[in-house]
Amino acid sequence: MDDAPKYSFVLPAYNEASNIAPMTERLMSVGESLDGAFEIVWVNDGSTDGADAAIDGAANAHSCVRALHFTRNFGHMAALCAGLEAARATHAVIMLDADGQHPPELIPEMVRHWRDGADIVQTIRIESGALGSGKRLTSRWFYKVFNALADTDIPEGAADFRLLDREVVDALNNLPERVRFMRGLVQWVGFKQAQLPYAQEDRLSGETKYDLWRMMAFALSGITSFSVRPLRLAFVLTLLVVALVAVYSLYVLAAIVTGKYLAPGWTSTMFIILILGAAQLLVIGIASEYLARMYVEQKQRPIYLVRKRNNARE
């Protein structure tokens, strides 16, 4: 087996046939400007547009290009995960989109930050015209809701364009959970992070694979894998109903004192409904609390992570 490269570039691709060759060329020239050997890992996420052939073509043309073909479309997160597991880099892995929106020319700068001691170099998309206003709005809201609900905070605009030190890649590969919301996990593992703003470019060709529904599913999967707070809604509602009972009791009391007419049966019916509602919500809340704890347990995230090395980076 040939020597392991210093750097791996990991690219998930779903129906990006026309982008494979230009991205490979750009990455080749960026890679050659670095201080050591590199590899390009293409993860073909079940493309049906001929991207397989384009990826195999690139792998045949360049010995540093490796191809991984999924049996079907498993999704962006699965592809990133496979790429991280396949990457052989001894120093750092850089993941980026296949469509040119993440400019490979930024990689040398990312490597500089890594050499200065950052374990994670996270790029932050700066708002630009290239991004549709719909996408900008949904993205901003997503980060706000996520950060309000989850204990792990994601910097607003954090893209799936980042450099990860070998140690971080190992930590991510060792996480046993199945739902792999990369943006959250990268923050969760900790380590030393540097942020690098970048202007997102237009897609080279093809269309986005994330329509509104897929974005919403993505957001939901991210929030539910990092927060159990939505499960506590039942407790909040219990308190609301209890407050309602208190207010209604005051009203009934005032009516009795002032001799105001209360329809027979009405008061008792209202109390029964409110008290039963509160009791049900309370029991649901208690059950949710156990569910939340089981959910956290079954993810089997490590309780803590320890830095293994802190060596010079050349």
Structure tokens at 85: 């597991």
Give residue 5's identity as a one-letter amino acid code. Answer: P
Q: Which of residues 216-235 bind ligand UDP (CB under 6 A)?
A: none
14 part of the interface to ligand UDP, by CB under 6 A: yes
CB nearer ligand UDP, residue 75 or residue 157 = 75
Q: Which of 238, 226, 217 is nearest to 284 (CA)?
A: 238
Q: Which listed residue (7, 38, 84, 99) binds ligand UDP by CB under 6 A?
A: 99
CB nearer ligand UDP, residue 85 or residue 289 = 85
Spatial separation of the C-alpha atoms in residues 256 and 274, rounded to whole Å = 20
Instruction: Provide φ and ψ at 128, rounded to 5°.
Output: -145, 170
Structure tokens at 237: 């509602």
DSSP state of 200: P
Q: Which of residues 20-79 bind ligand UDP (CB under 6 A)?
A: 45, 73, 75-76, 79
12 part of the interface to ligand UDP, by CB under 6 A: yes
Instruction: Give the containing element (helix H, strand E) for 302.
Output: none
76 binds, among ligand UDP, Mg ion, none (CB under 5 to 8 A by kind): ligand UDP
| Interface region with ligand UDP, contact rule CB under 6 A, candidates 9-17, 104-112, 142-150, 275-283 | 9-17
Smallest distance from the beta carbon of 201 to ligand UDP, in angstroms? 11
Smallest distance from the beta carbon of 164 to Mg ion, in angstroms? 20
Q: Which listed residue (115, 209, 232, 299) binds ligand UDP by CB under 6 A?
A: 209
222 binds, among Mg ion, ligand UDP, none (CB under 5 to 8 A by kind): none
Strand partners, 66: 41
Spatial separation of the C-alpha atoms in residues 66 and 83, rounded to whole Å = 10
Smallest distance from the beta carbon of 16 to ligand UDP, in angstroms? 5
Cβ neighbours of residue 77 under 8 Å, at least 6 residues apart? 179, 180, 181, 182
Asked whether the beta carbons of 124 and 199 are under 8 A apart, the reply is: no
Q: Which of 280, 314, 271, 96 is nearest to 196 (CA)?
A: 96
Q: Which residue has the tokens 């909040």?
A: 236
CB nearer Mg ion, residue 201 or residue 289 = 201
Smallest distance from the beta carbon of 240 to ligand UDP, in angstroms? 38
CB nearer ligand UDP, residue 57 or residue 277 = 57
| Interface region with ligand UDP, contact rule CB under 6 A, candidates 58-66, 91-99, 248-256, 293-301 | 91-99
16 part of the interface to ligand UDP, by CB under 6 A: yes
| Interface region with ligand UDP, contact rule CB under 6 A, candidates 20-28, 93-101, 256-264, 280-288 | 93-101
101 part of the interface to ligand UDP, by CB under 6 A: yes
Asked whether the beta carbons of 186 and 161 are under 8 A apart, the reply is: no
Asked whether the beta carbons of 181 and 225 are under 8 A apart, the reply is: yes
Asked whether the beta carbons of 161 and 123 are under 8 A apart, the reply is: yes
The helix/strand count (H/E) of the chain reads as: 10, 7
184 binds, among ligand UDP, Mg ion, none (CB under 5 to 8 A by kind): none
CB nearer ligand UDP, residue 208 or residue 300 = 208
Which residues make up the interface to ligand UDP (CB under 6 A)?
12-14, 16, 45, 73, 75-76, 79, 97-99, 101, 208-210
